């Protein structure tokens, strides 16, 4: 049994805290920490009431490396689960190295002042983690995360060569709001308004934002228009899947969502640079974040399902084969279990499974790892039992 420390008390952080508290075999103690103490204490009280387990709480600014290092040295967790903002990944990795603690996150680093995310900054920590004998596991959410492991499973069991991968993500649910994002609005909008990008025949190709779409029939949801985006798991999978010829990522958006986004782009409220307003400098997208509903507040009235998976095509025993491996998650059911909507749930549950893999030694290594580099079997067995059952169809 091992101690685990969770950093971040937003929608995903709440799911991780709930599910970690429910894990009484691998985790001897759980601590939840965030910059603001009130949400942490509220979550801790909710968890004790629902699951009968007390978790410890702490207030810490994840950007303050000395303060975070001090907390880690005092608490001595086996692993840190980072579900704070992607801007903070490197600071938390620095603190983990200083305190000799393993690290896990669900989203790769991106700089605060540039709408760009890639693994290069975190891959640069490879030598430092290897020398320290510590493990850093990147992207243990759903996409990235489970989607990476789905691809590894297909490569291990279903196809001798994986040539084409389409990762497809549909939120077929409804929260009843005119416009809201399912996770941090700032991160969500930065991701969606960026140029599309996919890997084909050994090179990256770009598209204008949301300019390429296709229809896809999602299990449990039905046909939905899906838009080509760049998503971080493409970067590592293009590197680690052998024989790959093309990999793309697709996500669904409703017409009302896209219209709101178009208007906000046109008026400049999604800008990430500073503007002057009444003698003060503000960042428009941060102001927008303050106006929009807290993603965690959407959970109670959310209906419908998410459907996310990987469509993989390649060769098996000399013949062309196509497999679809996927999960369906119900918003109402996740609210009953952990007071969260399914988008938070599908990210939070795999983070707990990843941490369990690390503390039990089922996944181990010294250095920085992406999910598909590990054995998919124990992870998928665990994540299925923990609340995200998965299915395979030959197509």
pLDDT given for residue 31 in this prediction: 98
Query: Which position has the token pair 């999910």?
Result: 371
**CA dihedral for 273, 278, 280, 286, sign (positive or negative):** negative
**CB distance 306 to 170 below 8 Å:** yes
Give the tens place of pLDDT for each residue, 299-338: 888 999 999 999 999 999 999 999 999 999 999 999 999 9
Give the tens place of pLDDT for each residue, 205-263: 999 999 999 999 999 999 999 999 999 999 999 999 999 999 999 999 888 888 888 88
Give the tens place of pLDDT for each residue, 8-21: 999 999 999 999 99
Phi, psi of 142 (to 5 degrees): -100, -60
Confidence of residue 115 (pLDDT cuts 50, 70, 90): low
- How many helices and strands, by DSSP H and E, does the chain display? 14, 18
The number of beta carbons lying within 10 Å of the beta carbon of residue 1 is 12
Helix axes 342-359, 11-22, angle to 10 degrees: 50
CA dist list (Å): 229 to 85, 114, 237, 280, 295: 20, 17, 15, 34, 21
Length of the chain: 395
Confidence of residue 140 (pLDDT cuts 50, 70, 90): very high
Q: What is the β-pairing status of strands 27-34 and 319-330?
A: unpaired
Distance CA 355, CA 79 (A): 7
Q: What angle do CA 255, 224, 260 make, to 5 degrees?
A: 15
Closest by CA to 187, choosing from 110, 277, 104, 282, is 110
3-state SS, residue 26 = coil
Closest by CA to 309, choosing from 330, 327, 329, 331, is 327
Q: What is the dihedral of CA 108, 113, 116, 118, to 10 degrees?
A: -40
pLDDT given for residue 277 in this prediction: 86
Structure tokens at 325: 């491996």
Distance CA 238, CA 235 (A): 5
Give the tens place of pLDDT for each residue, 95-106: 999 999 999 999
Structure tokens at 273: 């640079």
CATH 3.40.50.720 is held by the domain 2-141+346-383:
yes
pLDDT given for residue 306 in this prediction: 98
Distance CA 239, CA 233 (A): 10
Q: What is the β-pairing status of strands 390-394 and 213-218?
A: unpaired
Closest by CA to 336, choosing from 302, 308, 307, is 302
Give the tens place of pLDDT for each residue, 25-54: 999 999 999 999 999 999 999 999 999 999
pLDDT given for residue 273 in this prediction: 87
Structure tokens at 297: 């507040």
CA dist list (Å): 285 to 123, 165, 270, 274: 28, 33, 5, 9
DSSP for 108-135, please give it: ----TTSS---SHHHHTTHHHHHHHT-E
What are the boundaries of each domain within the chain? 2-141+346-383, 146-341
CATH 3.30.360.10 is held by the domain 146-341:
yes
Phi-psi region of 175 (alpha: psi -120 to 50; beta: other; left: phi over 0): alpha
Q: Could you tell me which residues come within 8 angstroms of residue 162 by beta carbon, excluding any fewer than 6 positions away? A: 151, 154, 155, 241, 242, 243, 244, 312, 313, 314
In this model, does residue 187 exceed pLDDT 70? yes
DSSP 8-state symbol, 155: I
Structure tokens at 349: 């549950």
- Which is more confidently placed, 373 or 254? 373
DSSP 8-state symbol, 77: -
């Amino acid at each position: 049994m091992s101690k685990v420390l969770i950093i971040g008390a937003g929608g995903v952080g709440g799911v991780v805290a709930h599910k970690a508290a429910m894990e009484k075999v691998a985790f001897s103690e759980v601590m939840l920490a965030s910059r603001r103490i009130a949400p942490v204490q509220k979550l801790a009280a909710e968890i004790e009431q629902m699951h009968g387990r007390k978790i410890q709480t702490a207030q810490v600014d994840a950007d303050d490396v000395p303060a975070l290092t001090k907390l880690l040295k005092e608490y001595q967790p086996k692993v840190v689960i980072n579900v704070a903002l992607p801007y903070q990944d490197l600071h938390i990795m620095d603190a983990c190295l200083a305190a000799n603690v393993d690290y896990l996150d669900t989203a790769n680093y991106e700089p605060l002042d540039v709408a760009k995310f890639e693994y290069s900054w975190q891959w640069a920590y490879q030598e430092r983690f290897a020398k320290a004998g510590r493990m850093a596991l990147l992207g243990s959410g759903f996409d990235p995360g489970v989607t990476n492991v789905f691809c590894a499973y297909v490569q291990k069991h279903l196809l001798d060569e994986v040539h084409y991968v389409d990762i497809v993500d549909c939120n077929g649910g409804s929260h009843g709001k005119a416009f809201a994002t399912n996770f941090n609005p700032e991160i969500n909008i930065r991701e969606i308004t960026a140029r599309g990008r996919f890997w084909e025949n050994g090179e990256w190709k770009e598209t204008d934002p949301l300019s390429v779409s296709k229809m896809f029939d999602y299990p449990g949801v039905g046909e939905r228009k899906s838009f080509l985006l760049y998503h971080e798991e493409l970067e590592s999978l293009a590197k680690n899947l052998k024989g790959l010829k093309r990999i793309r990522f697709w996500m669904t958006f409703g017409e009302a969502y896209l219209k709101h986004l178009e208007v906000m782009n046109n008026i400049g409220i999604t800008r990430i640079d500073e503007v002057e307003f009444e003698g003060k400098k503000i960042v428009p997208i941060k102001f927008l974040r303050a106006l929009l509903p807290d993603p965690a507040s959407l959970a109670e009235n959310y209906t419908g399902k998410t459907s996310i998976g990987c469509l993989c095509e390649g060769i098996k025993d000399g013949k062309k084969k196509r497999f679809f491996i996927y999960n369906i998650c119900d918003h109402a059911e996740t609210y009953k279990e952990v007071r969260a909507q399914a988008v938070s749930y599908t990210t939070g549950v795999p983070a707990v499974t990843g941490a369990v893999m690390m503390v039990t030694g089922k996944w181990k290594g010294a250095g920085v790892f992406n999910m598909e580099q590990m054995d998919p079997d124990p992870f998928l067995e665990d994540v299925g039992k923990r609340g995200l059952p998965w299915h395979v169809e030959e197509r």
